[in-house]
Copies of this chain bind each other. A is one copy, B any other.
């Protein structure tokens, strides 16, 4: 079960890296999505095709396994495939390799098709999927269950939505949630640990000027450190996530 693969190389510029010179989570997802857009264009089912059908792609969930985040000036290889789909959900995979061919990152994702008219999810249009050679399936692919934040045990930081958080779809671009989730952790914790895996599921959209809360709860079970996250506007959840960490 797998779709047609597309790959490209990418050189990590300094401005997509953090204080340690490592690619940020937000930039990682940006460059993976950019590669998938290039596949769509190559297969003639790019944004123009989607627009003509009044449809857009919306990501609902990511699972990321990060062996090593690439560093500034590294040239990496990004591979992606639209693996499979069912009536409503499309499953796309991504991999990122370093120059020596080592796998640095593996990502599984769920996308849905949204109607620009109704702003609601629609059934997957098979003609769009055909060029990807994705497998049509009956069931759903299982993703890890994201544990909820216990508000009583969580700390939080507030983030006012800024002009540059808003993208061409007039809402907060979802990569900003990674920044709000990680920034809500202590500086020393971020310096002493690295992200090993992320599970994130998206909910309500967020608009310009809204005040968001980024809640975080740290859970340590034996040697494993997990943080549970929620970005919310009042009672509406915009994203929930679960991140596992390793000491540096």
Contact surface of A with B, Cβ cutoff 8 Å: 13-15, 17-21, 24, 26-27, 30, 33-34, 37, 72, 162-164, 166-168, 170, 173, 175, 179, 182-183, 185, 187, 190, 208-209
Q: Can you identify 11 A-B contacts, CB atoms within 8 angstroms?
A: A13-B34, A14-B34, A14-B168, A15-B30, A18-B164, A19-B170, A162-B183, A163-B179, A163-B183, A163-B185, A164-B183
Report yes or no: B19 in contact with A167, Cβ–Cβ below 8 A: yes
A20 vs B170: C-alpha distance when bound (angstroms): 9
A245 to chain B: closest CB distance in Å? 14
A208: which B residues are within 8 A, CB to CB? 187
Report yes or no: B183 in contact with A21, Cβ–Cβ below 8 A: no
Interface centre among A21, A164, A173 (most CB of B within 10 A): A164
A19 vs B168: C-alpha distance when bound (angstroms): 4
Say whether, besides A15-B34, A34-B13, A164 and B187 are in contact (CB < 8 Å).
no
Starting from the known contacts A17-B167, A19-B163, A187-B209, 17 additional A-B residue pairs (CB-CB under 8 Å) come to A13-B30, A13-B34, A14-B34, A14-B37, A14-B168, A15-B33, A15-B34, A18-B166, A19-B166, A19-B168, A26-B164, A72-B168, A162-B179, A163-B187, A164-B179, A164-B182, A187-B208
A47 to chain B: closest CB distance in Å? 9
A20: which B residues are within 8 A, CB to CB? 168
Interface centre among A17, A162, A179, A209 (most CB of B within 10 A): A162
Say whether, besides A164-B182, A164-B183, A182-B163, A173 and B15 are in contact (CB < 8 Å).
yes
A164: which B residues are within 8 A, CB to CB? 18, 24, 26, 179, 182-183
A30 vs B15: C-alpha distance when bound (angstroms): 7
A34: which B residues are within 8 A, CB to CB? 13-15
